[in-house]
Amino acid sequence: MAAVGGAEGAAAAGVDIHTLFLHIAVILLTGKIFGTLFKRLGIPAVLGEVFAGIILGQSLLGWIPLSEAIKVLAELGVILLLFEVGLEADIHMLIRVGVWSTLVAVIGAAVPFAGGFAISYYVFDLPLISSLFIGGALTATSIGITVRVLTDLGKHKARFAQIVLGAAVLDDILGVVILAALYEFSKTKEVNLEATTSLMFHIAMFFVIAPIVARVMAKALSYVVDKLKEPEIIPATVLSLILGVGYAAYRAGSPEILGAFTAGLALSRRFALPFAAFLHLNEKIVHKVEEGITPLVQVIAPIFFVSVGLALNLKAIDFLSGEFWAFSLSLIAIAIFGKVIAGFVVKGSFKERMSIGLSMMPRGEVGLIFAEFGRSFNAIDSVGYAVVVFVVAVTTLLAPILIKLNIRGDEG
């Protein structure tokens, strides 16, 4: 049944199942080669994987289309990556820096949104809905790219990285809320505060309840493994838990990655519920979870980063247009400034503040989602779409380099 379903899905995307196998093989191999090559050159490996997608995709060679099957694998890759991040996160540190993370997220979303809207609406005289979508495309950070860059640089457990992690998760939620509000506005031309408030309430309730439910399920798994003496069931069961909590997040109106992240937090060594000490997990179980999930992350996560490159279509951009460059450079400036200035609300050294701002800079797939939604609703024309794609490409490709340059020689 799975093979038949896969064949039908691939055919629906214009790719037969056998060609899809070849595409995945090429993506995995090319992504690893370019990732390793970039790493050897002192450039974060994630940038090599995105670059591999640019080469293979519609921007250059056009060998591999971004089919629905590849999108599914890419989504699975980022979900697993965020689960692993949650699993390794220091929950106590996240709580301590929670206020800073919230400030960084809110300012890092509000300034680019307001700036992008103002530039589009008041300077370049775009329609209201187009300006709103372009401003929205600048709000959310690509948490997958940010986390991978910090992990590659060995800085994912530093204080600034924990602030970034919390801010990026909140940023993603804000992005979903803004996108939902713009979707309603594009249909009715009215702001639906009731629907937006309801969505925020459901997301908040999910974030409170989901870690507790995931912890209870993990405790049940620990009990079953102890009784059956069959640790081999752990990887499949945990993957089911990740996907289940991801689906629950989707039903609550939040991103699936939020579900994966909270599931990772719930299974981490540092997660504790003061009123439920009996939910403490066996260290061996936690180790087995890490042992089972890590290989999956290493294989599947790169598909996500290659897919970001596949989604970019640099051929659609008229690089000879003066209007394109004026509009693009204006948006790039506010896109960078809006995130960097958010880092300076945090108490700390200049380098730490700059690291926070730069780590929030890549838009990646999030900006592309806004652009695609805007185009599908006829809210963004071809020029606006090309500009957004270019801004996404620049912030995504530039951020890893700037982060590395900023933290070079920093042992903190």
412 — pLDDT class (breaks 50, 70, 90): very low
33 — pLDDT class (breaks 50, 70, 90): very high
pLDDT of 272 > 50? The answer is yes
Q: What is the pLDDT of residue 313?
A: 79
Strands, E, within 142-213: which ranges? none
Does any domain span residue 35?
no
Distances (CA, A) of 396 to 114, 264, 299, 332, 390: 20, 26, 22, 11, 10
What is the tens place of the pLDDT at every residue in 168-221? 777 777 777 777 777 667 666 666 667 677 777 777 777 777 777 777 777 777
Q: What is the pLDDT of residue 15?
A: 66
Does any domain span residue 27?
no
What is the tens place of the pLDDT at every residue in 310-325? 887 778 777 787 888 9
Name the percent of the chain lying above pLDDT 70.
Answer: 82
What three-state secondary structure class fits 43?
coil
Does any domain span residue 310?
no
Residue 123: give the domain boundaries: 80-299+316-407
12 — pLDDT class (breaks 50, 70, 90): very low
The per-residue pLDDT of the chain, averaged, comes to: 78
Does any domain span residue 376?
yes
pTM: 0.68
Q: What is the pLDDT of residue 295?
A: 81
Q: Are 59 and 13 in contact (CB under 8 A)?
A: no
Q: How many separate domains does the chain show?
A: 1
Does any domain span residue 393?
yes
pLDDT of 337 > 90? The answer is yes
277 — pLDDT class (breaks 50, 70, 90): very low
* Cβ-defined contacts of 36-45 (< 8 Å, 24+): 39/152, 42/404, 43/400, 43/401, 43/404, 44/148, 44/149, 44/152, 44/153, 44/400, 44/401, 44/403, 44/404, 45/148, 45/152
pLDDT of 140 > 50? The answer is yes
Q: Which residue has the higher pLDDT, 229 or 27?
A: 27
Does any domain span residue 248?
yes
Does any domain span residue 103?
yes
CATH code where residue 124 lies: 1.20.1530.20
159/79 Cα distance (integer angstroms):
23
Closest CA to 367 of 134, 72, 127: 134
Does any domain span residue 284?
yes
160 — pLDDT class (breaks 50, 70, 90): confident
